[in-house]
Structure 1
Amino acid sequence: MNLALRLTDRKRESIVQAAIAEFRDNGFEVTSMDRIAARAEVSKRTVYNHFPSKEELFSEMLQRLWTRATAQPDASYRPDVPLRDQLRELLGAKMKTLGDSNFIDLARVAIGATIHSPERAQAWVNRLNEREEAFTVWVRSAQQDGRLKAVEPGFAASQIHALLKAFAFWPQVTLNEPLLTAEEQLPVVESALDLFLCWYEIKTAPVKA
């Protein structure tokens, strides 16, 4: 990669970071390309060279949010592993995302910007819902293996994710509460597992000798 290209990439990144900061501090409607350029310490022309409009910048920000949200370990169902162990691994990865300050900042900006645009809000919510599709597939596989009760898989997936978000997403995004520490995350995950498995797991009778 040549020096000019690296410089271009650095400028683009500084513009994106400046946009995120401006959206966070002032909201989507108030933020202007002039303010973004000033914060990034580049010319307005440079901003427009990278992003033709504020909407394009916002789309870039949502893409980053989406990328962070979709980072996850293998979510394949494993018939030879206890359900609780598999779920703990999946929820642990989810909590790692929810404990990322950059992710929370992006989510806060995105939600704030979508308040005045139902269409934009719906598109964002739809993409986050797609993020949980891997867990939905896991639930369906466990059902087919006879280990979870029959229920609409997407409904069950939304339930367990909501149990985490009630403590590790919405308070931070809407009320600016601090991120949960690793110690604080643990009981949230374990209690979510208790509730989910208590209701949905099919208990098999012990085999008599």
Structure 2
Amino acid sequence: MKRTEKKRKDIIDAAIDEFKEQGFLGANTTSIAKKANVSSRTLYNHFESKEALFDAISEIMLEQNRSMEPVAYDPDRDFAEQLKDALWHYVSVITEETAIGLNRMVLSELIRDLDRSRQFFTVTESHDYPMTGLISGAMDAGMIRKADPVFATNQLLALVKNFYFWPEFFLGENPTQSETMDDCVAMFLAHYKRKD
């Protein structure tokens, strides 16, 4: 890693800590620079403002989700099992400690700032979840009825996140039993059952 890249990473790491500790409004760039062991001038060479730093951190959070490999439909495997495997992988990524920390930091600011929230959700609307291809492939193969695969994916993920992401996000623990995933998939498959 080049020296400038390391400084940029150190600034982002320090900003994440500062935003977590102080919130967006309470955070200040002088404190961030101090935590990163750089001068304020160096910080501003990389990020022109606290807002630019926050946007960079939001982008990192989105990139973590985008880094998940798309899942293709396999006609030789049980579709429900494919869905469960893909969903468990998704849950493991979004509930990882760093991911939860970033989500807490970013979402708390989005709740406070409606304009920033609108900008963020405009970006996320174009996000393609890793299991969208799996659901689309199953629709094309006639395993489930035809519908908008993006909408169907969002329905399934909203259900799964309710049980596996939000408890972790708000409580720091997850009391949900693993069998609940079977129920989520069963509900999804019942709704998208092919009409013969």
Question: Do both proteins adopt the same fold according to a TM-score greater than 0.5, normalized to the shorter chain?
Answer: yes
TM-score, L = length of structure 1:
0.81
Equivalent position of 1:68 in the other structure: 64
Does structure 1 residue 202 correspond to structure 2 residue 194? Answer: yes
- Residues 1:185 and 1:44: Cα distance change in structure 2 (over 3 Å): farther
Query: What is the number of residues matched between the two proteins?
Result: 196
The more displaced of 122-131 and 111-120 is 122-131
Alpha-carbon spacing, 1:72–1:188, altered in 2? closer, same or farther (3 Å): farther
How many Å separate the matches in 2 of 1:134 and 1:98? 12
- Counting only pairs closer than 5 Å after superposition, residues 168-187 of structure 1 correspond to structure 2 as 168-173=164-169, 175=170, 177-180=171-174, 186-187=178-179
Once superposed, what is the RMSD of the aligned Cα atoms?
Answer: 2.4
Of 143, 157, 161 in structure 2, the residue corresponding to residue 165 of structure 1 is 161
Q: Structure 1 126/191 Cα, relative in aligned 2: closer, same or farther at 3 Å?
A: farther
Tell me: CA distance 1:119–1:138, structure 2 relative to 1, closer, same or farther (3 Å).
farther
Consecutive aligned runs of 4 or more in structure 1 exceeding 4 Å deviation: none
| 2:34 counterpart residue number | 38
Cα distance between partner residues in 1 of 2:179 and 2:119: 32
Which has the higher Rg, Structure 1 or Structure 2?
A: 1
Contact 2:95 2:168 in 1 (8 A): no
Q: Distance in 1 between matches of 2:121 and 2:87?
A: 20
- Indicate conservation of the 8 Å contact 2:70/2:133, yes or no: no
Distance 1:185 1:119, change over 3 A: farther
Partner of 1:121: 117
> 1:97-156 CA distances to partner (integer Å, 9 max, x unpaired)?
122111111111111112232232123224344334443343233222211124333332
- Pick closer, same or farther for the CA change 1:192–1:66 going to 2, 3 Å: same
User: Scaled by the length of structure 2, what TM-score is found?
Assistant: 0.86
Q: Which runs of 5+ in 1 are unaligned?
A: 205-209
Return 5+ residue gaps in structure 2 as ranges: none
- Aligned residue type for 2:24: F
Change (3 A) 1:172 1:199: same
Distance in 1 between the 2:77 and 2:96 partners? 28
Pick from 181, 187, 191: which aligns with 1:189? 181
Query: Quick one: distance in 2 between partners of 1:101 and 1:55?
Result: 24
Structure 2 residue corresponding to 1:27, chosen from 6, 13, 23: 23
Distance change (3 Å), C-alpha of 1:55 and 1:161: same
